[in-house]
Chain A
Amino acid sequence: MNTSPRANKITLYIVMVVFALFFLLPLYVLFATALKSFSEVSASRMWNLPTIISGEGFAKALEKLLPNLLNSFYLVIPATAFSAILGSLNGYIFSKWKFKGSDIIFPIILFGMFIPYQSILPPLVRFLMSIKLYNSIPGLILTHTVYGLPITTLIFRTYYTEVPTEVVEAASIDGAGILGTYWRVLFPISLPGFVVVIIWQFTNIWNEFLFAIVITSSPAKQPITVALVNLAGSQIVEWNAQMAGALLAALPPVLIYILLGRYFLRGLLAGSVKG
């Protein structure tokens, strides 16, 4: 400990900057390529900044991907809303109205968020076909709602555990009933819980790929992640459009992360099953 605190500090900053460069590297590559014009894109110049900033890449990517970006919104918004509302009710019951067996049912539900979805895919496809929801956005909404229930239930249960049980008891003695107590006491203070869950679900469902590629087979129905992989795998689409497409696909969740990072972090920590 004989180095001066000042020199020490400078070393720490240098180390932090070096790590930051590693994390920003793919971002640099994406932007530097996406903003080049078609004529300037080449493998030998990938590390150069564009000589002139061109919107060609983004225009081409948007032209190809706009319908799929919209599909993602049509999918994510209802699936997030349904799984959040159900998760809130479940979390309320599993934390405040435990019944015999509820402490066994809860981890059994929770297990559903860890399974490799490959192990339910063949029957899921068959089931969605039988109810005529295969290859449709409503089919994906149903899927994401159901498989989102474990995590939303977990986050709300953790959140409501912090609420003193006396508050709930007081309201129920006043004759409010279970739903009445939820509506009058719990729901009004649930906003932070909802923010965490909504951000978490929005990000995860937006970014999800396996269900999307298996359940939506026609390009017009596919969400952005599948469309991006198709675009990036295509030999005829220029690299600047591919990279611009990747940036477009990343934008909504990253925007949410930038605006509401604190809550994003909370969802992240809640996801690791701590009571």
Chain B
Amino acid sequence: MIKERTKEKLISIGLVSPTVLAIGIFVYGFIGWTIKLSFSDWNTFAKLLKGKFKFVGLSNYIKLLFQDPRFPSDLWNTLFFTILFLLGCVTLGIILALLLDRGLKGSIIFQNIYLFPMAVAFVVTGTAWRWIFAPGISAYPQGINLLFSKLGLDALRWRWFVSIEHIGPFNLALIPVVIAATWQLSGYTMAMCLAGLRGIPSQLIEAAQVDGASGWQVFWGVKFPLLRPIILSAMIILGHISLKIFDLVFSMTGSGPNLAVDVPALYMFETTFERLRYARGAAIAIIMLIMVSFIIIPYLISSMKREAKK
């Protein structure tokens, strides 16, 4: 019996070992290598050809954070983008889920319309929205501005992603990118909330209604508290996507005038693969990894703990 146990254990470990090995190398080994790179002076093509590391400590990080105006402004952009994007996805997602939860005839068609952008590539979304938000010039409006003109809504015309307006460190040119990202991913919060709403026992809602609660009170008193953990996980998933956002911005606007829509992922790509300043690019990548880890590691730990309790 004991012998068989050992044998089974060995087979189990054997079966997962290719994956463990692959993830060990491709995720953790490579991250380690990038960290090492970020502490090096591999910032010119000549040094790259020589292929030898020289350790320069935190110099790449210090330059990025304190001497380079572009990177701090990217971080502000990421913060602004994340706030607006989460606000958009959560509000829109809850509203759509509540609408669909009414179970009106034809709801499934609407659900499919709200959800299909999730199946579309960010670069497709970027291509379409770039064309929509291209502002044109004031005499010859284009895109959405042209539509506003036709509808007599000239007051809504704006420079969109080529705008240089800002509120403090927040660049308003990011708004059209947030709209495109919300268009693409609010279906995610909607699907999560809808699954949550359908899991609420109907007796609970009926009991509240018998007690004379209005629709609004039922939402805030019964539904919302039960949805809260679901909304929190959705925010973590969407939040970490927004810290990494690349495809959409790359295909829709690029860095924009005055770097108004620049994000760390764009800067990393340009630094590493266009200017071949590998060490500096690696430092950007590691800062992105640290930001993502701050929200994902607690999330993973709490998910695993919750599961262990079951």
Contact = CB atoms under 8 A, between A and B. Distances in A.
Given A225-B121, A254-B116, A25 B132 contact: yes
A20 B233 CA distance: 26
Interface string B137-155: 0001011001100100000
Interface in A179-228: 179, 203, 206-210, 214, 225, 228
Contact of B191 (A117, A150, A269, A273): A269
Given A110-B300, A115-B31, A275-B303, A1 B234 contact: no
Interface residues of B, number: 99
Interface in B74-104: 92, 95-96, 99, 102, 104
B188 A268 contact: yes
Contacts of A44: 140, 142, 146
B154 to A, nearest CB: 15
Given A23-B116, A123-B33, A265-B115, A210 B272 contact: no
A210 B214 CA distance: 49
B110 A112 contact: no
A25 B26 CA distance: 40
Given A111-B27, A242-B127, A206 B121 contact: yes
Contact of B272 (A99, A122, A203): A122
Interface string B7-43: 0110111011011101100110111011001000000
Contacts of A119: 30-31, 34, 285-286, 288-289
B65 interface: no
Interface stretch (B56-64, B165-173, B242-250): B242-250
B131 interface: yes
Nearest to B251: A229
Given A114-B240, A272-B237, A20 B113 contact: yes
A116 B288 contact: yes
B27 A29 contact: no
B308 A103 contact: yes
A207 B289 contact: no
B124 A12 contact: no
B34 A120 contact: yes
A209 B251 CA distance: 10
Contacts of B183: 22-23, 26
Contacts of A265: 115, 191
Contacts of B204: none
A256 interface: yes
A118 B127 contact: no
B273 A214 contact: yes
A16 B22 contact: no
A94 B13 CA distance: 10
Contact of A20 (B12, B114, B126, B240): B114
A: contact size bracket? 35 or more
Given A1-B214, A178-B15, A275 B278 contact: no
Given A47-B146, A119-B34, A272-B237, A232 B140 contact: no
Given A29-B128, A115-B31, A99 B121 contact: no
Given A103-B308, A207-B121, A242-B127, A43 B142 contact: yes
A179 B191 CA distance: 36
A99 B9 contact: yes
A272 B234 contact: yes
A183 to B, nearest CB: 12
A209 B285 contact: no
Contacts of A209: 121-123, 246-247, 250-251
B99 A16 contact: yes
- Which among A1, A92, A109, A124 has the highest number of chain B CB atoms within 10 Å? A109
B134 interface: yes
B191 A94 contact: no
Contacts of B273: 214
Interface in B263-294: 265, 268-269, 272-273, 278, 281-282, 284-286, 288-289, 292
28 contacts: A12-B102, A19-B110, A22-B183, A23-B113, A26-B132, A30-B128, A43-B146, A46-B143, A90-B19, A97-B8, A99-B9, A105-B16, A106-B304, A112-B23, A112-B26, A121-B34, A122-B281, A123-B37, A124-B26, A146-B22, A178-B8, A207-B120, A214-B269, A229-B126, A243-B128, A249-B123, A272-B192, A275-B303
Given A23-B114, A265-B115, 9 more contacts: A16-B110, A43-B143, A111-B300, A122-B34, A123-B29, A123-B37, A177-B8, A228-B127, A258-B112
The 4 closest A-B pairs by CB, nearest first: A275-B307, A207-B121, A120-B30, A257-B119
Interface of B: 8-9, 11-13, 15-16, 18-20, 22-23, 26-27, 29-31, 33-34, 37, 92, 95-96, 99, 102, 104, 107, 110, 112-132, 134, 136, 140, 142-143, 146-147, 150, 183, 188, 191-192, 195, 214-215, 233-234, 237, 240, 243-244, 246-247, 250-251, 265, 268-269, 272-273, 278, 281-282, 284-286, 288-289, 292, 296-297, 299-301, 303-304, 306-308, 310
